């Protein structure tokens, strides 16, 4: 019990005196972690990332516990794994960064608005058209955006239509040889927003052999988001609905209309904004809470213990010496500094990257004294300068002889 109390006491003190900058730091990083999670969940990349996170947490725990060999081994594995993931998944990472669109409104990204609701006429049009295309052996794929923003998940964004949904439009889009017939129709806010979209494919190994690329795409988009999908098979001439990575075959237009109505039909009374804010916080609360807790613990492990200290010697570099001046006599080449911070951050400290920079731009001939402070030393974030010896450097500068000044 005493050991547990000794562990929990600094944690409690740290969060009790949590500064504003740490709160902002945790909020931003939690948002980024959650966004990465919802884009990679259910994929092979997510499983590998989860393994790397576990190794990283094990390394930090070993560091705190003073397990030198364990932390050394896990640290090496973790560093190699991070580089390996960047190399293997460079395409996925590049695609996700390309989708960070500054033109997307923040309200759309955070999904402040109410869930997508389609009117009954639009849903009936989609249901009838889907079975009509199935009877003719015409393949089709519909994606219905709800609260999760679908556009960043598209492998290829397709062509913007932003058109009203009608039977003629759907038949034109999906009938071969129309240039967009092989892609998905992305339905947003009750309108045909984009056509010819390429979706992320599911990696579900248990998917039946007769399901092709169209159904794997329908599964993939619903695994990455809360979107709904309707897939029309041209080979089997049937209609399937997909939600949360689960495929279900529907047999009649009425069945499809009922399924869509239950999930997308507009309510009689609009939701108030306060409920939208509540839903923003409570929806998917488990991964959101896990993101906040994980980032907070990582911050605590890195900067929570500020009582560790290390002493090192670092070089002194004299910058911007005026051309007409030279330094006389011996000059201080290095100083001894004490750096304070968490043991974890000190373990990452590379003394070869540190130096004391003395700016002589405004220097003049004669003896001058320069005090050394934290602004003269570039320490990594989370570390503080606890002391320096000597704390003052005295220099004597004199003018160069005229001949040497001309040569220079």
User: How do the pLDDT tens digits run along the chain, 408 residues long?
Assistant: 555 555 555 555 555 555 677 788 888 888 888 877 776 665 566 777 778 878 877 877 777 677 778 878 887 887 787 777 777 666 666 656 655 555 555 554 554 444 456 788 899 999 999 999 999 999 999 999 887 778 878 888 899 998 999 999 999 999 888 888 889 999 988 899 999 999 988 888 788 878 889 999 999 999 888 899 999 999 899 999 999 889 999 999 999 999 999 888 755 444 444 555 666 677 778 888 888 888 887 777 666 555 678 888 999 888 888 888 888 877 888 889 888 876 666 776 778 888 888 888 888 888 888 888 888 888 877 678 888 888 888 888 888 877 654 555
Q: 0.85 exceeded by the pTM?
A: no
Neighbours of 263 (CB within 10 A): 18
| Residue-range domains of the chain with CATH | 2-102+284-303 (no CATH), 120-269 (3.40.1700.10), 308-407 (2.170.120.30)
Both tokens of 95, joined, read 């695609």
C-alpha to C-alpha distance for 146 and 59, rounded to whole angstroms? 39
CA torsion angle 126 127 133 135 (round to 10): -170
Q: How many CB atoms are closer than 10 A to CB 324?
A: 15
Cα–Cα distance measured from residue 269 to residue 114, given in angstroms and rounded to the nearest whole number: 12
Please tell me the distance from the alpha carbon of residue 43 to that of residue 204, in angstroms, as a whole number: 9
């Amino acid at each position: 019990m005493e050991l547990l109390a000794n562990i929990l006491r600094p944690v409690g003190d740290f969060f009790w005196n949590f500064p504003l900058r740490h709160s902002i730091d945790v909020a931003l990083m939690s948002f980024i972690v959650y966004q990465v999670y919802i884009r990679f969940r259910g994929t092979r990349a997510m499983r590998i990332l989860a393994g790397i996170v576990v190794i990283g947490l094990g390394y930090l725990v070993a560091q705190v516990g003073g397990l030198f060999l364990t932390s050394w081994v896990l640290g090496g594995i973790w560093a190699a794994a991070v580089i390996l993931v960047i190399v293997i998944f460079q395409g996925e990472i590049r695609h996700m960064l390309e989708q960070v669109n500054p033109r997307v409104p923040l309200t759309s990204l955070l999904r402040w608005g109410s869930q997508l609701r389609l009117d009954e006429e639009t849903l009936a049009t989609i249901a009838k058209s889907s079975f009509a295309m199935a009877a003719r052996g015409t393949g089709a794929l519909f994606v219905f955006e709800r609260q999760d923003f679908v556009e960043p998940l598209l492998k290829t964004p397709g062509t913007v239509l932003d058109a009203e949904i009608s039977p003629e439009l759907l038949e034109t889009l999906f009938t071969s040889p129309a240039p967009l017939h092989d892609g998905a129709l992305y339905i947003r806010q009750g309108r045909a927003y984009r056509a010819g979209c390429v979706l992320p494919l599911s990696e579900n190994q248990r998917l039946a052999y007769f399901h092709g690329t169209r159904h794997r795409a329908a599964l993939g988009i619903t695994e990455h988001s809360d979107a709904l999908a309707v897939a029309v098979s041209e080979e089997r001439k049937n209609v399937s609905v997909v939600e949360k990575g689960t495929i279900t075959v529907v047999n009649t237009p009425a069945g499809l209309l009922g399924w869509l109505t239950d999930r997308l039909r507009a309510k009689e009374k609009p939701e108030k904004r306060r409920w939208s804010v509540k839903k923003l916080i409570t929806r998917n609360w488990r991964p959101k809470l896990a993101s906040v807790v994980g980032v907070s613990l990582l911050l605590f492990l890195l900067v929570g213990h500020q009582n560790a200290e290390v002493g090192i010697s670092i070089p002194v570099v004299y910058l911007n010496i005026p051309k007409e001046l030279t330094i006389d006599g011996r000059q201080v080449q290095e100083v001894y500094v004490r750096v304070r911070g968490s043991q974890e951050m000190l373990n990452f400290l590379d003394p070869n990257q540190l130096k004391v920079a003395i700016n002589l731009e405004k220097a003049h001939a004669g003896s001058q004294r320069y005090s050394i402070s934290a602004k003269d030393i570039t320490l990594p974030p989370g570390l503080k300068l606890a002391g320096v010896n000597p704390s003052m450097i005295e220099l004597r500068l004199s003018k160069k002889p005229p001949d040497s000044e001309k040569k220079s």
